Structure 1
Amino acid sequence: MTDRLLPQTNKDVLDIIRAAAEDKQTLEIIGAGSKVDWGRPVNSSAFLDLTKLTGIMLYEPAELVLSAAAGTSMMEIQQALAAENQQLAFEPPDFSSLYGGNNSGTLGGTIAANLSGSKRLQAGAARDHFLGFEAVSGRGEEFKSGGRVVKNVTGFDLSKLLAGSFGTLAAMTSVTVKVLPKPDKTRTVLLYGLDDEAAVKALSETLQGPFEINSAAHLPANIAAKSAVSYIASSGGSVAAVRVQGPEPSVEVRCRAVRALWQAHGEVEELHGHNSENLWQEVRDIAKLLSNPEDQIWRLSVPPSTGAGVVAAITGQLEGEYYYDWGGGLIWLALEAKAENSTAILRQVIDNSGGHATLVRGSAELRSSIDVFHPQPEELARLSSKIKSSFDPAGVLNPGKMYKVDG
Structure 2
Amino acid sequence: MRPETEAELADMIASASAPICVKGGGTRGVNLNGDVLETGGLSGITLYEPGSLTLVAQAGTPLAEIEAALDAEGQRLAFEPMDHRGLMGTSGAPTIGGVVAANVSGPRRVSVGACRDFMLGVRYVDGTGTIVKNGGRVMKNVTGYDLVKLMSGSWGTLGVLTEVSLKVLPKPETSACVLIDGLSDADAVQAMAKALGSPFEVSGAAHIPVGLDGHPVTMLRIEGFAGSVAYRADQIAALFGGLAVRVERDADAVAKGWRWVRDVEAFHGQSGDVWRISCTPSEAAVLAAKVGAEALLYDWGGGLIWARVTEGTDVRTRLGLLDGHATLVRGTGQAKFQPEPGPIAALSRGLRQKFDPKSILNTGLMG
TM-score, with length taken from structure 2: 0.96
Give secondary structure in 1 for the equivalent of 2:9.
Answer: helix
In the alignment, the residues of structure 2 paired with residue 181 and residue 191 of structure 1 have an alpha-carbon distance, to the nearest angstrom, of 29
1:207 and 2:196 correspond: yes
Matched-pair contact (CA < 8 Å) for 2:32–2:362: yes
Q: In the alignment, which of 286, 298, 302 is matched to residue 328 of structure 1?
A: 302
Give secondary structure in 2 for the equivalent of 1:359.
Answer: strand
Matched-pair contact (CA < 8 Å) for 1:145–1:154: no
1:400 and 2:356 correspond: no
The one-character-per-residue Cα deviations of 1:216-246 (angstroms, maximum 9, x if unpaired) are 000112xx12xxxxxxx3xx52110110111
Report 1:177-192 matches (<5 A): 177-192=166-181
Number of the residue aligned with 2:224: 246
Q: C-alpha displacement at 1:271, in angstroms?
A: 3.9
In the alignment, the residues of structure 2 paired with residue 17 and residue 312 of structure 1 have an alpha-carbon distance, to the nearest angstrom, of 46
Number of the residue aligned with 1:391: 355
Give secondary structure in 2 for the equivalent of 1:294.
Answer: coil
Q: In the alignment, which of 165, 168, 188 is matched to residue 154 of structure 2?
A: 165
Number of the residue aligned with 2:323: 354
Structure 1: 4+ residue segments shifted above 3 A? 150-156, 348-353
Give secondary structure in 1 for the equivalent of 2:133.
Answer: strand
Instruction: Give the direction of change, closer, same or farther, for the CA distance of 1:271–1:154 in structure 2 (3 Å limit).
Output: farther
In the alignment, the residues of structure 1 paired with residue 208 and residue 251 of structure 2 have an alpha-carbon distance, to the nearest angstrom, of 20
Q: In the alignment, which of 377, 394, 407 is matched to residue 341 of structure 2?
A: 377
Instruction: Give the direction of change, closer, same or farther, for the CA distance of 1:156–1:239 in structure 2 (3 Å limit).
Output: farther
The one-character-per-residue Cα deviations of 1:111-162 (angstroms, maximum 9, x if unpaired) are 0000000000111000000111111100111110011234575777101110
1:9 and 2:5 correspond: yes
AA partner of residue 363 (structure 2): P
Q: In the alignment, which of 14, 19, 27 is matched to residue 18 of structure 1?
A: 14
The one-character-per-residue Cα deviations of 1:150-183 (angstroms, maximum 9, x if unpaired) are 4575777101110000000001111111101001
Report 1:358-369 matches (<5 A): 358-363=327-332, 366=333
Report 1:9-158 matches (<5 A): 9-20=5-16, 24-37=17-30, 41-44=31-34, 46-151=35-140, 157-158=146-147
Please report the RMSD computed on the Cα atoms of aligned residues, expressed in angstroms.
1.6
AA partner of residue 296 (structure 1): D
AA partner of residue 8 (structure 1): E
In the alignment, the residues of structure 2 paired with residue 156 and residue 391 of structure 1 have an alpha-carbon distance, to the nearest angstrom, of 12
Report 1:209-228 matches (<5 A): 209-221=198-210, 224-225=211-212
Give secondary structure in 2 for the equivalent of 1:214.
Answer: strand
The one-character-per-residue Cα deviations of 1:9-61 (angstroms, maximum 9, x if unpaired) are 111100000000xxx22211101111243xxx4221x1111101100000000
Instruction: Give the direction of change, closer, same or farther, for the CA distance of 1:107–1:155 in structure 2 (3 Å limit).
Output: farther
Number of the residue aligned with 1:229: none
Number of the residue aligned with 2:290: 313
In the alignment, the residues of structure 1 paired with residue 203 and residue 285 of structure 2 have an alpha-carbon distance, to the nearest angstrom, of 21
Name stretches of at least 5 consecutive residues in structure 2 with no aligned partner.
none
Matched-pair contact (CA < 8 Å) for 1:302–1:350: no
In the alignment, the residues of structure 2 paired with residue 332 and residue 63 of structure 1 have an alpha-carbon distance, to the nearest angstrom, of 36
AA partner of residue 72 (structure 2): A
Q: C-alpha displacement at 1:211, in angstroms?
A: 1.1
Q: C-alpha displacement at 1:350, in angstroms?
A: 3.3
Instruction: Give the direction of change, closer, same or farther, for the CA distance of 1:182–1:155 in structure 2 (3 Å limit).
Output: farther
Instruction: Give the direction of change, closer, same or farther, for the CA distance of 1:155–1:55 in structure 2 (3 Å limit).
Output: farther
In the alignment, the residues of structure 1 paired with residue 63 and residue 46 of structure 2 have an alpha-carbon distance, to the nearest angstrom, of 14
Q: C-alpha displacement at 1:248, in angstroms?
A: 1.5
TM-score, with length taken from structure 1: 0.87
Number of the residue aligned with 2:257: 279
Matched-pair contact (CA < 8 Å) for 2:189–2:302: yes
Q: Paired residues, what number? A: 367
In the alignment, the residues of structure 1 paired with residue 311 and residue 269 of structure 2 have an alpha-carbon distance, to the nearest angstrom, of 10
The one-character-per-residue Cα deviations of 1:353-407 (angstroms, maximum 9, x if unpaired) are 42211000113xx1xxx3311110100000000000000011011101121xxxx
In the alignment, the residues of structure 2 paired with residue 200 and residue 264 of structure 1 have an alpha-carbon distance, to the nearest angstrom, of 17
Q: Percent identity?
A: 41
